[in-house]
A and B are shown apart, each in its own frame.
Chain A
């Protein structure tokens, strides 16, 4: 399946670096946070990749710098090894439903996500954080669309099983960043 130029947003070829930052900062930050689960690392990753974007735009590669480029660059920049302990999820384990997830602390959801293998964490974060389609995810990760479909399905099943296992455990509190703003409206 062809997945080049799948993003529907306009290319930023005619936009300034400032406009590019305004439009994409929250997206980049959330994805960086998902990769690292640490605000300090997310800050470092985000600043580094936007620095690359600034340089690329200054060197005339303006048209190539878009949201897809940004997310792919963050993925490349993230050098964290996938050394999280991977709990084995029994196929027969109960799977949590939406009503139960709604009662969970968001930190529990994020920590559960972070405990998953990197390949599954990536597709879930792009699907839920950035609300990308499977074709857009394929573009960011450089994978065939069919692989993304299968990986996303497996990842969602594993996430539900892990959340069910975590449901009765004490929530893990993440340290909030200084001067943080909620959600995507912060640019």
Chain B
């Protein structure tokens, strides 16, 4: 696998999930061990993803509809 392909694949990788056991990602992760610049990029990418997920998690959830749905049960 070349660097370009590894970079594209690793943008979908999630640490601490079943992705770590996926041979598809393992092959891409292996490319990191031979390329310090790519490894640095990957670390920054993971940090970016974590912050983004946190920002998205701040979306408030309106509960009126939920209560209405449950009241019909």
| A contact set with B: CB distance below 8 Å | 8, 16-18, 21-22, 25-26, 29-30, 33-34, 39, 42-43, 46-47, 50, 54, 97-98, 101-102, 104, 106, 109-110, 125, 127-129, 131, 133-134, 148-150, 152-153, 156, 159-160, 176-184, 186-187
Inter-chain contacts of A150 with B (CB < 8 A):
8
Interface contact A131-B62, CB-CB below 8 Å: no
Min CB distance B52 to A, Å, is 5
Most buried by A among B11, B55, B59, B62: B59
Interface contact A133-B17, CB-CB below 8 Å: yes
Main secondary structure of the interface of B (DSSP, over half): helix
Min CB distance B61 to A, Å, is 5
Min CB distance B47 to A, Å, is 4
How many pairs, one residue from A and one from B, have CB atoms within 8 Å of each other in the complex? 127
Min CB distance B58 to A, Å, is 4
Inter-chain contacts of A127 with B (CB < 8 A):
12
Q: A21-B66, A101-B48, A109-B52 are in contact. Are A183 and B11 (CB under 8 A)?
A: no
Chain B residue, CB-CB nearest to A22: B70
